[in-house]
Amino acid sequence: MSIGKFCRPPENSRTVKKNKRPGRLFLFLKKWKYQLVCVSAGFLLFFLAQCFAAPSSDLINSNYLKRSGYGKHTETYDITVDGLTGGKQKLSIPVSARKYSDDEADRAFDACMDYLSVQILGNNLSLDEVSENLSLPSGISKYGMRAEWTSSDINLLDSFGTVKNADLEVPAEITLKVHLSDGTGEGKHSADYELPVRIIPLNMSEKEKQTRSFLSYLKKQDNAQNTKEGLLLPSEFEGKSLTYSQAAKENYSILWILGIVCAVLFYFREILDRKKAGEKRKQQLLLDYPEIVSKLMVFIGAGMTIRLAWGSIVGDYEAALEKYKNSGIAGKRYAYEEMSRAYGQLKTGVNEGKVYRDFGRSCGLKQYMKLAGLLEQNRKTGIADIRNILNTETAAAWEERKNIARRTGEEASTRLLGPLFIMLMIVMVMIIVPAMMSFT
């Protein structure tokens, strides 16, 4: 392997020197991007929940304008007409809503009554047993119809569907009339229908009677105090002490709070990721240490100097990395990357002893610091001593690697206890629950 290959400066070294350093704003955004996104998303969701409304869209297809449905209002479309006056002209074209024909109106009225006979019941089972308020709509948007309601006895049932049976003792039969018409008052079709309604007395519990009595009392107090600025609620009623509270209004502030919480969680996640990356780096350095020491011992035993042995190890690593770059088989190794960086300093003329010391400090482990001290000591004691020392260090390093592998296996087996314990609990529940149910 040629030494010149490692002495050639990288092709893009000049380009790197010319590049400008990124600004502080860019570095700030890059560091806190996840937190900023979380906070922004929280506030965005808050404002959208408060005032978001999906805009409606008009459907225009070539030369066809779609009418609005039955009972709707006239739609106005902004259309650009070309060729009317020799050029393009923007016009507002009104399109009236769709109208019923005579046959369609009759069918629509019958369908409306079938629909209303079910919808107006509210919580009542049928019109023969009405004890709670009816739901009387003023319009049926499904068919584009308007409805006007009239009761034969407003003391029992008004036109809004309110049932007044608090003082009713026996069932009473009344008639509920409905006048149906199409459109928004401009339609030419209408029909009248009558519905028999049987009002039954209100079946109230003691709690409901007491509540109704209290509301009746409040109504009297309201009439008595209607000249004042507000209503003074009583502190006592029928010998019972009363306190009041009001339900809190719906609050969407939780959305922006969640955004800030997510930002904080992302910050702690980055800290944990850095910690895990540091632990992974440390473990990888420990695993590669015996191999590096063995290679140095072999190359030095073959007659190479430490500098040439170092360069050969770095060259083999870079060749393997380039060969399997796209296959994913071989990835970057922290120890070899530090060796490659140190070898680059050696080629630029940095003091060899300083390079070895910096290598040990960059790795940050006592094993590599010891190796750096041995290599620097070799410059004074000679090759024979370094071979013997490296031989001893290799044996100790391989023994340490065995211990690491043993500890890793024990940690993996310990992590498997969690799922096994959960499975045991599930099996116990599957056995105990049927046994307990059989006794009951």
Cβ-Cβ contacts under 8 Å for 185 (sequence gap 6 or more): 146
pLDDT band of 57, cuts 50, 70, 90: very low
> What local confidence, expressed as pLDDT, does residue 59 receive?
43
Cβ-Cβ contacts under 8 Å for 297 (sequence gap 6 or more): 387, 390, 391, 394
- Residue labelled with tokens 């944990």: 272
Q: Does some domain include residue 402?
A: yes
What's the whole-number mean pLDDT along residues 111-125?
86
Q: Are residues 350 and 376 in the same domain?
A: yes
> What local confidence, expressed as pLDDT, does residue 81 receive?
72
Using the predicted structure, report yes or no on whether residue 284 has a pLDDT greater than 70.
yes
Q: Give the domain CATH number at 106.
A: 2.60.40
Q: Are residues 85 and 106 in the same domain?
A: no
Q: Are residues 190 and 280 in the same domain?
A: no
Q: Are residues 124 and 180 in the same domain?
A: yes
> What local confidence, expressed as pLDDT, does residue 22 receive?
65
Q: Which percentage of the chain shows pLDDT scores above 90?
A: 1
DSSP 231-300: ----SEETTEE-----PPPP--HHHHHHHHHHHHHHHHHHHHHHHHHHHHHHHHHHHHHHHHHHHHHHHH
Using the predicted structure, report yes or no on whether residue 298 has a pLDDT greater than 80.
yes
Cβ-Cβ contacts under 8 Å for 99 (sequence gap 6 or more): 70, 182, 183, 187
Cα separation of 357 and 345, whole Å?
12
Amino acid at 51: C
Sheet with 172-182: list strands edge to edge: 139-140, 145-151, 172-182, 190-199
Q: Please give the distance of CA 258 from its chain centroid, rounded to a whole number.
A: 10
> What local confidence, expressed as pLDDT, does residue 4 receive?
39
Q: Are residues 306 and 397 in the same domain?
A: yes
Question: Do 82 and 74 contact (CB within 8 A), yes or no?
Answer: no
Lowest-pLDDT range, 6-10, 19-23, 57-61? 6-10
Q: Are residues 330 and 367 in the same domain?
A: yes
Q: Does some domain include residue 166?
A: yes
pLDDT band of 83, cuts 50, 70, 90: low
pLDDT tens digits for range 58-70: 545 456 666 766 6
Using the predicted structure, report yes or no on whether residue 251 has a pLDDT greater than 70.
yes
> What local confidence, expressed as pLDDT, does residue 167 receive?
74
| More confident: 91 or 60 | 91
Q: Are residues 113 and 74 in the same domain?
A: no
Q: Does some domain include residue 20?
A: no
| More confident: 335 or 28 | 335
Q: Are residues 282 and 413 in the same domain?
A: yes
pLDDT tens digits for range 176-221: 898 888 865 455 788 888 889 888 887 777 787 788 788 888 888 8
Judged by DSSP in three states, 140 sits in strand
Q: Are residues 73 and 107 in the same domain?
A: no
Q: Does some domain include residue 138?
A: yes
Domain boundary pick from 174, 203, 232: 203
pTM of the predicted model as reported, rounded to 2 decimal places: 0.41
Residue closest to 367 by CA, chosen among 278, 280, 291, 274: 291
What's the whole-number mean pLDDT along residues 348-354?
85
What does the DSSP 8-state code read for residue 166? T
What's the whole-number mean pLDDT along residues 104-128?
85
Q: Does some domain include residue 368?
A: yes
**Domain total in the chain:** 3
Domain boundary pick from 203, 219, 247: 203
pLDDT band of 20, cuts 50, 70, 90: low
What's the whole-number mean pLDDT along residues 30-54?
78
Question: What is the residue-averaged pLDDT of the chain?
Answer: 79
Q: Are residues 316 and 333 in the same domain?
A: yes
Residue closest to 320 by CA, chosen among 308, 336, 342: 336
Q: Are residues 84 and 131 in the same domain?
A: no
Q: Does some domain include residue 87?
A: yes
Cα separation of 370 and 149, whole Å?
98
Cα separation of 41 and 37, whole Å?
6
Domain boundary pick from 80, 95, 110: 95
pLDDT band of 6, cuts 50, 70, 90: very low
Lowest-pLDDT range, 86-95, 133-142, 167-176, 322-331? 322-331
Q: Does some domain include residue 283?
A: yes
| Residue 305 host element (H or E) | none
Q: Are residues 169 and 286 in the same domain?
A: no
Q: Does some domain include residue 220?
A: no
Residue 320 domain boundaries: 276-417
